[in-house]
Structure 1
Amino acid sequence: MDKIQHRTIFVNGINMHVAEAGAGPAVLFLHGFPELWYSWRHQMLALSSRGYRAIAPDLRGYGDTDAPPSSASYSAVHIVGDLVALLDALGLDRIFLVGHDWGAVIAWYLCLLRPDRIRALVNMSVVFHPRNPSRKPLESLRAAFGHDYYICRFQEPGEAEEEFARAGTARIIAKFLTSRRPGPLCVPKEVGFGGSPHTQIVLPSWLSEEDINYYATKFDQKGFTGGLNYYRAIDLTWELTAPWTGMQIKVPVKFIVGDEDLTYTTPGIKEYIHGGGFKRNVPFLQELVVMEGVGHFLNQEKPEETSAHIYDFIQRF
């Protein structure tokens, strides 16, 4: 970890914390929820040792990066704006892009809005869904999964934050990172995101108390609102991206998902991925990898395997 350097860069009106390692062609890593740059620590060291410059920011609202208070500041257009400004500040024209979870969503949008900046994409867990012009995302999610669906439960400002506070930050982090429940993730209010406080969470071999403490310390300082605001801005993103309705992802793509990932086990997703729908919307999808026995946080659960998959793909370009 000593090889990873840290600095703060002013981009798009905010101060962004960026972790970097190595020199060579640049690889930009985008983390998800509830994560940080730290989620990519293994991949950063692996790729930097193979002649690449690994760059992993704390995205807007997370860690040591500024967190504007309003959810209206967290559309995908805002986040993509941050990343384009970061590339400009670093003097990078085109980069390799790697995303996971919300970072995967943002990666799709970055490729959709600014494909000129991307050499190739390795994306994980979350597939590209084209914009539905006839219905907003929240309406669709409620219709499909009900009001207890976690994204729907995240909508009311302050509500999820209070639940997380009652459970305790470390428990919430551990609960999310270790969850293996098949999707979709529905959490009734009477159950709560922390689950029963009497149920012990046993950490798997790939996740240490030290890791949990790193995340918890940062989220205790920053709070969860920034990360939750991504969910609260999904209808706003839908409104702002109307001009890109019907557009395909036109960069070379490798997609990786675990077969125990809730994003893979959610109804309809396997059919979309394997039935041709995904390939229609992402015509330059070159590789599709389904990791057996792997959950949602595959980059941390299977770090060497994930790093090898990234390297094997990007070294072709």
Structure 2
Amino acid sequence: MEGIEHRRVEVNGIKMHIAEKGKEGPVVLFLHGFPELWYSWRHQIAALGSLGYRAVAPDLRGYGDTEAPSSISSYTGFHIVGDLVALIDLLGVDQVFLVAHDWGAIIGWYLCMFRPERIKAYVCLSVPFTRRNPKIRTVDGMRAAYGDDYYISRFQEPGKMEAQMAEVGTAYVMKSTLTTRKTGPPIFPKGEFGTGFNPDTPDKLPSWLTEDDLAYFVSKFEKTGFVGGLNYYRNLNLNWELMAPWNGVKIKVPVKFITGDLDIVYTSPKVKEYIHGGGFKEDVPNLEEVIVQKGVAHFNNQEAAEEISNHIYEFIKKF
């Protein structure tokens, strides 16, 4: 992690921790997912920071060394985007290159929707744009499609999933989540967190995840718990209500999309059809490229780190 510097900054009423490398050049802003941290981007920060860019990766609201407001409703898309716009202002730039994964990718789409003038181009990992269905709320739609044991359905009740995660322990939650290669929508058996999500949790870590990497994630989540991250899921229906004014909006920012062919999102029903069948391009007219990585699962920024860094660089250097 040589050359990566850390500081806490005031944004939108909270203190946010950011990791950064590179003092000059265009800003590349990295947004992590669940249950992750700035650390998920360690390889890309090092790579882009060495290529003349200013790489910046925050711990998002509720994660790591960033403050975690106690109210569930403090985690809407508006709050998170508000934090990021304040961060971009604080960095003293008009525009950034955006790179985001998982929940960070969802926030990335919101940021492109609300403030497209602040984003030069967007490299999106794993989660494509989701077209808002005006007839059914987000979680209600997921519950209808996948049932009550679908992970997002299970995450809704405050305190319940936190208790189940505490039961199996932070180290197990992190290890089983980061190493899962189970495809399709994550379904948990009733009353438990672990085995349904990743029945094949390995004893030995994969080559791309060291014991030190795992220990870093575990140390931070042991301090904070998972409630901050879970609160993002608990605002999906509220986000659906708040996003009504943007119904049918097109994302005009230039986009490159990258996923693994074993990704839990990519292998969920109807997602491939949306990505490759014209729907994605219709919603995101400046979608320039879709990359599907062979043999790569959900955490592709860590599993295929060098390849992802190269893809980011090849795309953003055009602008």
TM-score range, shorter chain: over 0.9
Q: 1:208 aligns with which of 192, 197, 210?
A: 210
Within 1, Cα distance between the matches of 2:231 and 2:192?
22
Within 1, Cα distance between the matches of 2:10 and 2:249?
31
Matches within 5 A, 1:28-177: 28-177=29-178
Within 1, Cα distance between the matches of 2:228 and 2:264?
23
Could you say if the C-alpha distance between residues 89 and 143 of structure 1 is closer, same or farther in structure 2, counting changes exceeding 3 Å? same
CA contact (8 A) 1:124 1:255 kept: yes
Same amino acid, percent of matched pairs: 61
Residue 221 of structure 1 corresponds to: 223
Residue 19 of structure 2 corresponds to: 19
Indicate yes or no: 2:264 matched with 1:245: no
Residue 268 of structure 2 corresponds to: 266
Amino acid at match of 2:145: A
Matches within 5 A, 1:174-189: 174-189=175-190
1:59-92 deviations in whole A, cap 9, x for unaligned? Answer: 0000000001111011111100000001111111
Deviating above 4 A after TM superposition, structure 1's stretches of 4 or more consecutive aligned residues are 194-200
SS of residue in 1 equivalent to 2:28: strand
Residue 7 of structure 1 corresponds to: 7
CA contact (8 A) 1:131 1:246 kept: yes
Deviation at 1:183, TM superposition (A): 1.1
Could you say if the C-alpha distance between residues 200 and 257 of structure 1 is closer, same or farther in structure 2, counting changes exceeding 3 Å? closer
Within 2, Cα distance between the matches of 1:47 and 1:193?
35
Deviation at 1:202, TM superposition (A): 2.9
Deviation at 1:192, TM superposition (A): 2.7
SS of residue in 2 equivalent to 1:265: coil
CA contact (8 A) 1:151 1:231 kept: yes
CA contact (8 A) 2:179 2:201 kept: no
SS of residue in 2 equivalent to 1:221: helix
Matches within 5 A, 1:187-202: 187-193=188-194, 201-202=203-204
CA contact (8 A) 1:167 1:197 kept: no
Normalised by the length of structure 2, the TM-score is: 0.97
CA contact (8 A) 2:112 2:119 kept: yes
SS of residue in 1 equivalent to 2:231: helix
Q: What is the aligned length?
A: 317
Deviation at 1:198, TM superposition (A): 11
Residue 284 of structure 1 corresponds to: 286
Amino acid at match of 1:65: T
1:81-108 deviations in whole A, cap 9, x for unaligned? Answer: 0000011111111000000000000000
CA contact (8 A) 1:164 1:194 kept: no
CA contact (8 A) 2:124 2:255 kept: yes
Could you say if the C-alpha distance between residues 134 and 4 of structure 1 is closer, same or farther in structure 2, counting changes exceeding 3 Å? same
Within 2, Cα distance between the matches of 1:141 and 1:199?
26
Deviation at 1:179, TM superposition (A): 0.5
Normalised by the length of structure 1, the TM-score is: 0.98
Within 2, Cα distance between the matches of 1:197 and 1:103?
26
Deviation at 1:188, TM superposition (A): 1.4
CA contact (8 A) 2:257 2:289 kept: yes
CA contact (8 A) 2:30 2:41 kept: yes
SS of residue in 2 equivalent to 1:9: strand
Residue 306 of structure 1 corresponds to: 308
CA contact (8 A) 2:254 2:288 kept: yes
Within 1, Cα distance between the matches of 2:52 and 2:192?
47
1:199-251 deviations in whole A, cap 9, x for unaligned? Answer: 75431110111111100100011110000000001111111111111101110
Within 2, Cα distance between the matches of 1:235 and 1:108?
17
Amino acid at match of 2:149: D
SS of residue in 2 equivalent to 1:263: coil
Within 1, Cα distance between the matches of 2:17 and 2:249?
32
Within 2, Cα distance between the matches of 1:201 and 1:15?
37
Unaligned segments of structure 2, at least 5 residues: none
